[in-house]
Structure 1
């Protein structure tokens, strides 16, 4: 049993302190204590509750108590914005260095439904979502099931991480930090990765969204021909712009800015001036993503059976 499974057994989301964990444990044991019914299932459930409680309480007992408390308590000092409708809480990681500046690794300093801001290293943000996705998948598929091939597990992990990313990226907040406000829209430096047989766009040509496939936004010219897909010089924008299109939360204008074709890893691309205007966020979009996550976890749990 890992900590994620222990929290699930006790009905916790990871934001509780020592007192709250004890309170939840006592309540569950009162409801499921084997003395109240001699059923084997009740005995087994009580044993699981005890094991889960002991596992989580290791962070609050023994010689490492001070260190564990420092790890769990700083949630109160993280002032990030939260998305209360997100599917689940996630950890906030922080890199630790010694006095000489040598990286000692990362620790979890908070847990909650926090959206990303520049106060959090983006690489650690992505790691947070990866860890959260892995915990959700582990819980969706008990260890007694046979192991799936890595290629299948990685596909589910990638898809789930991407869905969660859309819930922890606030489009308006992030565009304010990564884009430049131009009247009533944000201006972004972008590129179009050109298909091999695509017609070459000219400076000043407008391009239009042609649809999203495999998390890529394909672009077409005025004549309706697909010319390639949208790309960015700042990788963080992939996790901001594309989900906005998938959730129908944005309108854009794209104009070819540089007709001189450039090469990058055997691909050709041209620069774009992209303006993006956000639509009003609707709760239904969040609920739709939560439903997609539930469906993905359900499929994963039944995979190969």
Structure 2
């Protein structure tokens, strides 16, 4: 994006200062906000996403506002700063307008999984004049697949609330009595299953990590760590490790001698919801070695972590699909919860 394009989207002149840009931005967000009367009476040539992208660009392009760039999360995905850009009112939620024809307009541009068990909300951050995050509002609702432009913590928030709503509806309308002592455990599992319906694992991985493309498969080299077990044997650089089991959605590893060494950990939290499901669904293979490169002497003396060389092989036949049995797993989980 250029400054000229950003100014056109924001409706300001090319030489506008930051005060003018902020003022125009807030006016536009008021106009396109789904809970505002203006949203139902007027149209604007650009979407919320385009307005946010333009505003973020202006904030980061030498106008003395670098806060947006520094507030991306620990995953290191700078694209997520775009989805953090603002809105109008931190308390805003879909109101009675939600049932009107105007509010049914698609406000979030993403593919959908029509076979997903339920719809989820798309949340957007709210910022004040100084680009400080003060809350979030619901931008859209649907069966939208996650993409990197959507802030991942907000995505997890949407999935958690979706799982909570499903459980509450099941408790109210389902046959039988819920096992309330297991509610937390069931909701955690339900949340995990729902993420698989809203993340296209194989396709999303391509957006996060550039693969080495082969004739029959894509191969990814993924930053990873081994969280060592208390009884782990001494591991030397270059030692090959093997999958032992997947328990509670953690991949446990073993040495060549079959000894338990610990479980796989990622620097990027998003990979837990991509790599582990691919392995659970037997859609990928791994090669794992203790990395030659470890941290400083202090880190090497630590008894908790080891850096790994981790390769993931995803056959082309396993790409671009969603597991068809996830909805059935959700139904069985809810049925078990109620009996």
Q: TM-score, normalised by structure 2?
A: 0.62
Residue 241 of structure 1 corresponds to 275
Shift of 1:155: 1.3
Give the SS at the match of 2:165: helix
Q: 2: distance between equivalents of 1:101 and 1:227?
A: 45
Give the SS at the match of 2:159: helix
Residue 98 of structure 1 corresponds to 128
Structure 1, unaligned runs of 5 or more: 1-17, 19-56
1:82 to 2:82 alignment: no
* Partner residue of 1:291 out of 313, 317, 328: 328
* Partner residue of 2:311 out of 261, 264, 275: 275
CA contact (8 A) 1:209 1:220 kept: yes
Shift of 1:166: 1.5
Aligned residues: 238
1:165 to 2:195 alignment: yes
1:154-193 matches, cutoff 5 A: 154-183=184-213, 184-193=218-227
Shift of 1:263: 5.8
CA contact (8 A) 2:225 2:265 kept: yes
Q: 2: distance between equivalents of 1:112 and 1:92?
A: 8
Structure 2, unaligned runs of 5 or more: 1-39, 41-93
Residue 228 of structure 1 corresponds to 262
1:202 to 2:236 alignment: yes
Deviations 1:242-264 (A, max 9, x none): 11111111111111104758769
CA contact (8 A) 1:137 1:300 kept: no
Give the SS at the match of 1:270: strand
Give the SS at the match of 2:238: coil
Give the SS at the match of 1:242: helix
Q: TM-score, normalised by structure 1?
A: 0.69
Shift of 1:107: 1.5
